[in-house]
Structure 1
Amino acid sequence: MRVDFDPETVGRDEFYRLLTAVVVPRPIAWVSTLSASGVDNLAPHSFFSISCVAPPIVQFTSVGRKDTLRNVEATGEFVVSMAPEAMFEQINETGTDFPSDQGEFDAVGVEREPSLLVKPARVAASPVALECRLHSTVRLGDSTLVLGRVVHAAVDEAVLVDGHPEITRMRPLSRLGRDQWGTTAGIRSIARVPYRGERQS
């Protein structure tokens, strides 16, 4: 037997908690931006994915109007750093609602490094950073979808195997429901099956 949930009657917050509990695991975009006045912002966003391959475009969603969104709109640039397991506590701390004039890099003690093509800093200890320029935004109710064209990718050579990023070395975190986070334990691999006409019995 199933339990039915009607988003029109359940309420916004309860249905949000339901969605984030069932759309799992969600990769985390650890987004760094620079305000118009020069304040470094760093915040995790778990509504994150790839939007396009050619040109390379990634997307994240800002639920509400937060510093990250305001900075991206003002400057047109941002960096997505991978959220590694080793930085679990710091990633969580940067999700705190700090005042707009207080940068999370310094408040939480995250080391920054300069980006190559954009002004926002990268997270120095993150194994992967995607430098992005704003492509477009889409307003959806109480949220804003941010699409960024990836203009440069920087990958730590320590996580590369035969030139390819290896997940067991990157060890990215993911978000689950409530206050739960996921790790990369229990990885399985399987090759795709090509179509060969009718399957043989």
Structure 2
Amino acid sequence: MSQDAYFYEPKHGHGLPHDPFKSIIAPRPIGWISSQDQNGVRNLAPYSFFNAFCAAPPIIGFASAGWKDSVRNIEATGEFCWNLSTRSLAAAMNTSCDAVDAAVDEFELAGLTPAASSVISAPRVQEAPVSFECRLTQLLRLETADGTAVDTWLVMGEVVGVHIDPALLEEGIYQTAAAEPIMRAGGPTTYYTISDNERFDMARPGAAPGG
């Protein structure tokens, strides 16, 4: 690495046209979260700070900048779904992030179909090739290094039900690239997808084949 690397302290700002932190931790899978309030009013919103955190039991999480409808619904009901955002659903996903009133149903706004879940009450996106039904495990307000609370909320959920389009299973193995997942990265409008052209295989030291 160059000895004159660009350096900045985040608390003083980055001095660049776009926050590089959001581009360096990349690409970031999209947390397309569906939920509903206690009266059954549906909500659907994408979160770019999302990932998987545990395999057994499977736990996923997303961070919300501000106490938004998704967080409010999940706190009240203890349930939500994650829906895989794909290249063909990119426009609908983008529409669902519009800042609208809590009474607006983003499923209708984005032209999507709410499908009944199997284990929980929150709906999932029927058009999504993969959906996770989740139950809330932790809801945490994030803090700075000195303990100051920030207006960002981390929502963690255990995956209690999984829906997969059979077309994405080849000899029982899920085909990640075939789903054409989209991910957030780069500049303010930049997204990426993946393909098998970029695939490479590398076994962990001491790992059994297929482990």
Structure 1 length-normalised TM: 0.91
What aligned pairs does 1:90-105 form with structure 2 within 5 A after superposition?
90-105=92-107
Distance of 1:34 and 1:102 partners within structure 2:
11
Give 2:191's match in structure 1, choosing from 177, 181, 195. 181
Distance of 1:66 and 1:72 partners within structure 2:
10
1:142 match: secondary structure: strand
- Count of residues in Structure 1 that have an aligned counterpart in Structure 2: 195
Distance of 1:147 and 1:38 partners within structure 2:
21
Give 1:9's match in structure 2, choosing from 9, 12, 22. 12
Q: Which amino acid aligns with 2:203?
A: R
**Matching residue of 1:199:** none
The CA deviation at 1:137 is 1.1
**Matching residue of 1:191:** 202
Q: Over the residues paired in the alignment, what is the CA RMSD in angstroms? A: 2.0
Distance of 1:79 and 1:154 partners within structure 2:
11
The CA deviation at 1:37 is 2.3
Q: Unaligned regions of 5+ residues in structure 2, if any?
A: 143-149
**Matching residue of 1:170:** 179
**Matching residue of 1:129:** 131
Structure 2 length-normalised TM: 0.86
When you count helix as a share of all residues, which structure comes out higher? Answer: 1
Deviations 1:76-108 (A, max 9, x none): 000001001101111111111111011100111
Distance of 2:176 and 2:32 partners within structure 1:
17
Distance of 2:35 and 2:17 partners within structure 1:
30
Asked if 2 retains the 8 angstrom alpha-carbon contact of 1:7 and 1:15, the reply is no
Share of identical aligned residues, percent? 33
Asked if 1 retains the 8 angstrom alpha-carbon contact of 2:95 and 2:109, the reply is no
Deviations 1:161-190 (A, max 9, x none): 111210232110000131100011342221
**Matching residue of 1:75:** 77
Distance of 1:14 and 1:150 partners within structure 2:
38
The CA deviation at 1:16 is 8.1
Q: Which amino acid aligns with 1:4?
A: F
More divergent stretch after superposition (2-11 vs 99-108): 2-11
**Matching residue of 1:149:** 158
Deviations 1:136-182 (A, max 9, x none): 11110221111101111110101111112102321100001311000
